[in-house]
Amino acid sequence: MGYGLLTLKPHEYIVLNEAKKEEGMPIATIGAGTGLGECYLTADKEGQYSCFACEGGHTDFAPADAIEIELYNSIKEELGCDRRFSVERIVSGPGLATIYKFLANKFPEKVDSKVHDAFLAAKSLQGKIVGDNAKTNALCNQAMEIFVDAYGREAGSAMLKYLPRGGFYITGGLAPKNLDYFTKKDIFLKACFNKGRVSPAIQAIPIYLVLTEDLGERGAHYYAYQLLESYNNSLLGNAIARERVHEKFATVNHIALYSFIATMSVVTGFILGRK
């Protein structure tokens, strides 16, 4: 995913926060889909980026208001855990489904039977049902708003860790499928920037939402090409080194030959002189 960011064209993402992009500075990404992936990239002195994986999606989820505290306790009870669970339990496709289920139990009067039946039948695609109905169903809309708010908070936390002034990218399948909640509604960036006295540090970071969903494949191709190029350069470097070694020994041999000829000339001259 991370290396795929290096292949993006301007038409493949939209700008959420138009801050100055600094060349050679760290790049980072967060992407919600079946799970919550995060990674970052740093550049060497030649400007060549290397990608580093991390498990940011498994950091602790922290509820931000009363209803999230109820949601938090509900999930802990369901999971049978005493103290904590991962933010991925909320910020992911399955997490969106979990939020909807909690709201459906809390507000049964808001449940639309047709939508709810489709939700139950969807099994592993329940999050998609919530997203598809978010604009027309109050409960799905509320679930989506809670989800996007939590997504924004986690994105902001990730940015504080990496300070990716080379660009921070929202990836994964959920964001491009629910663009209005990231662009027209002021939920995501508001949550993202809400970091108290260090909020200006995040506001100075360019934030992009990636529209394409093939970054993983593109990143694999990019990395494979880099490995091949590195291998070819290594072979070329070895060939050049071998050639230089041969040249060095050839030069040494020539010097030895010339020295031998000069020595023999002196000896011959000395012998002839004595005669």
pLDDT digits (tens, 9 = 90+) for 85-112: 999 999 999 999 999 999 999 999 999 9
In this structure, the answer to whether residues 63 and 20 fall within a common structural domain is yes
* pLDDT tens digits for range 24-56: 999 999 999 999 999 999 999 999 999 999 999
In this structure, the answer to whether residues 272 and 183 fall within a common structural domain is no
Split into its structural domains, the chain has a count of: 2
Burial label, 169 (beta-carbon count in 10 A; 0-12, 13-18, 19+): buried
Do residues 187 and 152 make contact, with C-beta atoms less than 8 angstroms apart?
Answer: yes
- What's the pLDDT score for residue 274? 43
CA within 13 Å, CB half, 135: 8
In this structure, the answer to whether residues 186 and 266 fall within a common structural domain is no
Mean local confidence (pLDDT), 211-227: 90
In this structure, the answer to whether residues 52 and 141 fall within a common structural domain is yes
Concatenate the DSSP letters of all residues of the chain into one string: -TGGGGG--GGGEEEEE-PPPPTTS-EEEEEESSSEEEEEEEE-TTS-EEEEE--GGGSBP---SHHHHHHHHHHHHHHT-SS--BGGGTSSHHHHHHHHHHHHHH-GGG--HHHHHHHHHHGGGHHHHHHHTTTT-HHHHHHHHHHHHHHHHHHHHHHHHH--TT-EEEESSHHHHTGGGTTTSSSHHHHHH--GGGHHHHHTS-EEEE--S-HHHHHHHHHHHHHHHHHHHHHHHHHHHHHHHHHHHHHHHHHHHHHHHHHHHHHHHHHHHH-
Task: Decide if pLDDT at 220 tops 80.
Answer: yes
Q: What percent of the chain has pLDDT over 90?
A: 73
In this structure, the answer to whether residues 52 and 132 fall within a common structural domain is yes
In this structure, the answer to whether residues 194 and 223 fall within a common structural domain is no
**What average pLDDT does the chain have?**
87
- What's the pLDDT score for residue 233? 73
In this structure, the answer to whether residues 186 and 238 fall within a common structural domain is no
In this structure, the answer to whether residues 93 and 156 fall within a common structural domain is yes
Task: Decide if pLDDT at 251 tops 70.
Answer: no
In this structure, the answer to whether residues 189 and 108 fall within a common structural domain is yes
**CATH number for 129:** 3.40.367.20
Domain boundary among 167, 187, 213: 213
Sequence-distant (6+) residues with CB within 8 A of 146 are 67, 68, 71, 99
Task: Decide if pLDDT at 266 tops 50.
Answer: no
In this structure, the answer to whether residues 151 and 193 fall within a common structural domain is yes
Domain boundary among 213, 246, 265: 213
Mean local confidence (pLDDT), 149-154: 97
Q: Quote the domain boundaries for residue 35.
A: 3-213
- What's the pLDDT score for residue 243? 59
- Specify the higher pLDDT residue, 225 or 270: 225
Domain boundary among 184, 213, 242: 213
Task: Decide if pLDDT at 79 tops 70.
Answer: yes
pLDDT-wise least confident of 115-124, 204-213, 241-250? 241-250
In this structure, the answer to whether residues 22 and 122 fall within a common structural domain is yes
- What's the pLDDT score for residue 232? 77
Mean local confidence (pLDDT), 204-233: 89
Q: What is the total residue count of the chain?
A: 275
* pLDDT tens digits for range 157-215: 999 999 999 999 999 999 999 999 999 888 999 999 999 999 999 999 999 999 998 99
- What's the pLDDT score for residue 127? 96
